[in-house]
Amino acid sequence: MSIKFVHTNIAAKAVKEIEGVGVLTVVYAKDPEGNIVEIQSWK
């Protein structure tokens, strides 16, 4: 099992294929006030 991970100064993105379920993409980013926001997408 491997996770593809990309990181920048303002965001991080991880992509993971879950067998029999689909592909999960998660992005963590900072909003203008510095709060961390998580966004998920399943395909």
Residue-level pLDDT at 5: 62
- Maximum Cα interatomic distance, the chain, rounded to a whole number of Å: 38
Render each residue's pLDDT in the chain as its tens digit; 43 residues.
565 666 677 788 999 999 999 999 999 988 888 888 999 999 9
Sign of the CA dihedral with 17 first, then 23, 27, and 28 last: negative
Q: Residue 4 has what pLDDT?
A: 66
First CA to last CA across the chain, in angstroms? Answer: 18
DSSP state of 10: S
